[in-house]
């Protein structure tokens, strides 16, 4: 069903602002927006889109936001504990989740329970609790449409085909800024080096995840839960033009292509099942005389290997993978640890973790907090 009215979790980030561009261009009503702390942009967005609900996670900024929007009729709320209520506020039929990390889990479940279409841009939710979220989705008969470019591609390549005839999914990876380097060369790369992505402009956390290839590992797990398929291969494709592929039993491979722009999967998630006019630049094949494909280097980019192993082991291993990674990336961005320490930390936490199964949402959220605390403790002792 095409989106009529939307609530956006994370409206001031890269995906959030591009989603608002699509809403502006396609005339989609924006019911509610939320952000962590970018109060200036949040206020501007609230005014431009005449939203009904506006939420700020950082509670210290709540009174300031209320004062700023005093002359409007916007309902202003704050605090991470209010995110679930915000997610389902008003008459929005779609919830776009573009927050970073497992903080997206509870509001996503709230949206599913409220029978909203979930436009999922928060992959950590499916990594941390894919089985649980899928169970909720089935119970409430909901719809999760991927906003990630790879999953948007697979979603499109599956349309009109029998999913039982799929042989494997092929996820493409840009390879990140450190493609072609070996492990020793990665030891001294800086935050600045890691934040320079060749093809995509994204938030800091996902850019680091792309540099370690953890992002691709997360995406394999995300694909496994979105499509219910476990045969998934990763190929490094430097040009980011083939967004991903599906191979069928007859060996036909269907790819979805386009310029590297997140507006493409965002718009399709909102207008699906319809296709509408877009301002995205058309793909000019002559600009890409060579499309390349390589085997990923699991030796150098151990985070991808760890993610694939966690998925195979199942249970709460992917939850641990994500929790340890979230904390390690935070420490790397604060320049408290080195680049290769991210992988080392995740591997150490996975080795310590005893996997559990069948956890409730509350138990999952509690374990997520515990694992993050434990990772912090490990990193504090290290430094
Ligand atoms: Mg992606």
pLDDT at 198: 78
Beta-bridge partner residues of 173: 236
- The H-assigned helical ranges of 228-301 are 263-271
- What is the pTM for the complete model shown? 0.96
pLDDT at 286: 97
Query: Which DSSP category does 232 fall into?
Result: E
- Ligand 1 center to 346 CA (angstroms): 21
- Ligand 1 center to 52 CA (angstroms): 31
- Ligand 1 center to 92 CA (angstroms): 26
- Ligand 1 center to 61 CA (angstroms): 31
pLDDT at 199: 80
- CB contact set of 269 (below 8 Å; sequence gap of 6+): 96, 119, 145, 146, 147, 152
Closest Cα partner for 159 from 19, 256, 237, 234? Answer: 256
Which residue is associated with the tokens 């790397």?
Answer: 332
Closest Cα partner for 7 from 36, 28, 21, 38? Answer: 28
Rounded alpha-carbon distances, angstroms, from residue 41 to 17, 101, 336: 10, 21, 29
Beta-bridge partner residues of 170: 233, 245
Rounded alpha-carbon distances, angstroms, from residue 143 to 25, 66, 288, 327, 329: 24, 34, 35, 30, 31
- First and final C-alpha spacing in the chain: 51
- Ligand 1 center to 210 CA (angstroms): 9
For 322: left if phi > 0, alpha if psi spans -120 to 50, otherwise beta; the answer is alpha
Per-residue pLDDT of the chain (383 residues; tens, 9 = 90+): 899 999 999 999 999 999 999 999 999 999 999 999 999 999 999 999 999 999 999 999 999 999 999 999 999 999 999 999 999 999 999 999 999 899 999 999 999 999 999 999 999 999 999 999 999 999 999 899 999 999 999 999 999 999 999 999 999 999 999 999 999 999 999 999 999 887 877 889 999 999 999 999 999 999 999 999 999 999 999 999 999 999 999 999 999 999 999 999 999 999 999 999 999 999 999 999 999 999 999 999 999 999 999 999 999 999 999 999 999 999 999 999 999 999 999 999 999 999 999 999 999 999 999 999 999 999 999 87
- Ligand 1 center to 303 CA (angstroms): 16
- Ligand 1 center to 106 CA (angstroms): 22
- CB contact set of 80 (below 8 Å; sequence gap of 6+): 57, 103
SS3 content of the chain, % helix, strand, coil (to 5): 50, 15, 35
- Ligand 1 center to 150 CA (angstroms): 5
Cβ–Cβ < 8 Å for 51, 31: yes
Rounded alpha-carbon distances, angstroms, from residue 207 to 98, 284, 377: 14, 26, 25
Cβ–Cβ < 8 Å for 10, 16: yes
How far is it, in rounded angstroms, from Cα 311 to Cα 314? 5
- Ligand 1 center to 13 CA (angstroms): 15
Q: C-alpha dihedral over 86, 89, 95, 98, to 10 degrees? A: -20
- Ligand 1 center to 149 CA (angstroms): 5
- Residue 289: is it exposed, middle or buried by C-beta count within 10 angstroms (0-12/13-18/19+)? exposed
If one counts every other C-beta atom within 10 angstroms of the C-beta of residue 7, the result is 30
pLDDT at 383: 72
How far is it, in rounded angstroms, from Cα 151 to Cα 220? 9
φ, ψ at 185 (rounded to 5°): -70, -20
- Ligand 1 center to 152 CA (angstroms): 9
Cβ–Cβ < 8 Å for 310, 320: yes
Closest Cα partner for 6 from 119, 148, 82? Answer: 119
- Ligand 1 center to 10 CA (angstroms): 17
- Residue 356: is it exposed, middle or buried by C-beta count within 10 angstroms (0-12/13-18/19+)? middle
- Ligand 1 center to 268 CA (angstroms): 15
Q: What is the DSSP string of 290-305?
A: ----B---TTT-HHHH
- Largest distance between two CA atoms of the chain: 62
- Ligand 1 center to 377 CA (angstroms): 30
- Ligand 1 center to 66 CA (angstroms): 35
pLDDT at 197: 82
Structure tokens at 218: 């997360």
How far is it, in rounded angstroms, from Cα 45 to Cα 51? 8
- Ligand 1 center to 239 CA (angstroms): 14
Which residue is associated with the tokens 């340890």?
Answer: 324
- Ligand 1 center to 69 CA (angstroms): 35
């Amino acid at each position: 069903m095409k989106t009529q009215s939307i609530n956006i979790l994370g409206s001031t980030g890269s995906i959030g602002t591009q989603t608002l561009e699509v809403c502006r261009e396609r005339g989609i009503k924006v019911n509610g927006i939320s952000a962590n702390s970018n109060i200036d942009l949040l206020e501007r967005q609230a005014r431009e889109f005449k939203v009904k609900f506006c939420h700020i996670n950082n509670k210290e900024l709540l009174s300031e936001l209320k004062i700023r929007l005093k002359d409007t009729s916007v309902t202003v709320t704050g605090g991470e504990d209010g995110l679930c209520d915000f997610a389902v506020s008003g008459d929005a039929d779609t919830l776009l989740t573009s927050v970073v990390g497992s903080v997206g889990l509870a509001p996503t479940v709230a949206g599913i329970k409220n029978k909203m279409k979930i436009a999922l841009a928060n992959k950590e939710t499916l990594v941390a609790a894919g089985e649980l979220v899928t169970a909720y989705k089935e119970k409430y008969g909901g719809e999760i449409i991927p906003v990630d470019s790879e999953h948007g591609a697979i979603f499109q390549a599956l349309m009109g085909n029998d999913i039982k005839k799929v042989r494997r999914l092929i996820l493409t990876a840009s390879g990140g800024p450190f493609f072609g380097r070996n492990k020793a060369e990665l030891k001294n790369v800086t935050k600045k080096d890691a934040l320079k992505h060749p093809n995509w402009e994204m938030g800091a956390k996902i850019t680091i995840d792309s540099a370690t290839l953890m992002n691709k590992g997360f995406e394999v797990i995300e694909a496994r839960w979105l499509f219910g398929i476990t045969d998934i291969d990763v190929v490094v494709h430097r040009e980011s033009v083939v967004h991903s592929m599906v191979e069928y039993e007859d060996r036909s491979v269907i790819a979805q292509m386009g310029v590297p722009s997140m507006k493409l999967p965002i718009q399709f998630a909102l207008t699906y099942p319809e296709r509408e006019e877009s301002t995205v630049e058309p793909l000019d094949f002559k600009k890409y005389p060579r499309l390349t494909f390589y085997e990923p280097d699991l030796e150098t980019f151990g985070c991808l290997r760890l993610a694939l192993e966690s998925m195979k082991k199942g249970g709460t291993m992917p939850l641990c993978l994500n929790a340890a990674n979230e904390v390690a990336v935070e420490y790397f961005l604060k320049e408290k640890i080195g680049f290769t320490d991210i992988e080392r930390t995740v591997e150490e936490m996975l080795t310590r973790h005893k996997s559990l199964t069948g956890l409730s949402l509350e138990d999952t959220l509690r374990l997520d907090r515990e694992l993050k605390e434990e990772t912090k403790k490990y990193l504090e002792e290290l430094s």
